[in-house]
C-alpha cells in the first residue's frame, strides 16, 4: 500500500530516517518539500507511531495538472474502496467526510472554491455527508504543489502532530514534531538516556524525549 507523510518544511530527511527505522523494508518513492511518498506491506497500525511527521495518509492517487477543472476530474475518477478497507483495519469510519485542501505555490486557486466543488464530487461518489465545520474521521486531503496534485485520506482519526499531553496551547511553544526531530537527531535511536533541558519552556522537548523512552529532567 502507498502512503504519503506530510512534514514540516526542512524535516523531510529526518522523517525519512524515522520511516526507514520504523519500517526497514519500506520503499521510499518520492521526497519533496513537505511530503514523502512511500510504499510498505506492514500493518497500517505501525504508521501511527511516527513522531516526526505531521500526518500520514493513505495515498489515493497523484496527477499533474495546472487547471482547477482537472483536479475535479481527477477526483471523480479515483477509487476510494481500497483506502476505506485499509483505514477500517485500525478504526471505525462513520459515513461523514471532510476535506482539507493545501495549496502551495499555486496562482488562481482558492481553497474554499476547491473544497466546495470537491465536496459535491465525493458526496455523489460515496453518498456520505460532508462536514464543513470540522474535520471528520474520514478526512480527504488534497495537496497541490504548483502543478502536482496528491489525493489522500488521513490514516489515523486525528493528525499525528496532535499530542495527548498537550492540554492547552501556549504562544511560542515548540511544535511537537520539531521537538521529536530534535530528540531523534540528538539520541540517534538510543533509549534510556538522561535528557536535561534546564530552560524547558512548556516542556515539549522533555515530553517527546520521555515518549521516546528516555529519562528527562528540566525546569
pLDDT by residue for the chain (219 residues), tens digit each?
999 999 999 999 999 999 999 999 999 999 999 999 999 999 999 999 999 999 999 999 999 876 777 888 888 888 898 999 999 999 999 889 999 988 876 666 678 888 888 999 999 988 899 987 667 679 999 998 888 999 999 999 989 999 999 888 788 889 999 999 999 999 999 999 999 999 998 899 999 999 999 999 999
Task: Give dist(CA 157, CA 136) in Å, integer.
Answer: 8
Note whether 183 and 204 are within 8 A (CB). Answer: no
Backbone phi, psi, residue 7, to 5°: -125, 165
Give pTM, 2 decimals. Answer: 0.91
What is the pLDDT, as a whole number, of residue 68?
Answer: 74
In the chain, what is the straight-line distance between the N-terminal and C-terminal CA atoms, in Å?
44
Class of residue 89 by CB neighbours under 10 A (exposed 0-12, middle 13-18, buried 19+): exposed
With a CB cutoff of 8 Å and minimum separation 6, the contacts of 109 are 68, 103, 144
Amino acid at each position: 500500500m502507498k502512503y504519503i507523510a506530510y512534514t514540516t518544511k526542512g524535516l523531510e530527511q529526518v522523517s525519512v530516517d524515522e520511516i526507514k527505522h520504523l519500517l526497514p523494508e519500506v520503499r521510499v518513492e518520492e521526497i519533496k518539500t513537505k511530503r514523502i511518498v512511500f510504499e510498505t506491506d506492514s500493518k497500517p497500525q505501525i504508521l501511527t507511531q511516527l513522531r516526526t511527521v505531521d500526518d500520514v495518509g493513505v495515498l489515493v492517487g497523484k496527477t499533474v495538472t495546472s487547471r482547477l477543472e482537472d483536479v475535479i476530474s481527477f477526483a471523480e475518477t479515483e477509487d476510494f474502496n481500497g483506502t476505506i478497507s485499509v483505514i477500517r483495519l485500525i478504526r471505525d469510519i462513520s459515513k461523514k467526510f471532510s476535506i482539507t485542501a493545501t495549496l502551495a505555490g499555486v496562482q488562481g486557486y482558492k481553497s474554499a472554491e476547491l473544497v466546495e466543488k470537491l465536496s459535491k464530487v465525493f458526496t455523489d461518489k460515496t453518498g456520505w455527508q460532508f462536514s464543513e465545520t470540522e474535520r471528520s474521521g474520514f478526512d480527504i486531503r488534497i495537496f497541490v504543489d504548483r502543478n502536482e496534485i496528491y489525493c489522500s485520506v488521513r490514516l489515523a482519526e486525528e493528525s499525528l502532530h496532535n499530542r495527548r499531553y498537550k492540554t492547552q496551547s501556549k504562544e511560542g511553544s515548540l511544535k511537537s514534531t520539531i521537538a521529536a526531530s530534535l530528540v531523534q537527531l540528538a539520541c540517534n535511536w538510543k533509549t534510556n538516556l538522561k535528557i536535561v533541558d534546564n530552560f524547558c519552556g512548556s516542556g515539549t522537548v522533555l515530553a517527546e524525549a520521555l515518549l521516546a523512552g528516555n529519562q528527562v529532567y528540566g525546569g
